[in-house]
Amino acid sequence: MTTLDVGPTGMAVIAGFGAHAARSRASGGLSVADASWVAPAVSDLLPADYGDLLAMGITDALGVVPGTATDLARLLPLAS
């Protein structure tokens, strides 16, 4: 996860689920997505609270980068 440093709250970009999207496309399109992987992927994060975030260090935990068009383009590559 990367967070673009833009006001007033930032913009989180979560990527890296390519294998799941590819499986969904093979099923005939993204509208038939297999979401069975979501719960296991986030189960450790659900009990976390703001105190946990502070303990981890907000910048490191959220992957804060400058909120520039260049960083956004790097995070959201065009699909081919």
Q: For 14-64, what is each residue's pLDDT tens digit?
A: 776 665 555 555 555 544 566 777 788 788 778 888 898 899 898 888 888
pLDDT of residue 55: 93
pLDDT of residue 43: 84
Residue in this structure with the two tokens 């659900």, named with its chain if needed: 46
Distance of CA 36 to the CA centre of its chain: 17
Amino acid at 50: Y
From the CB of residue 3, how many other CB atoms can be counted at a distance below 10 Å?
19
The model carries a pTM of 0.55
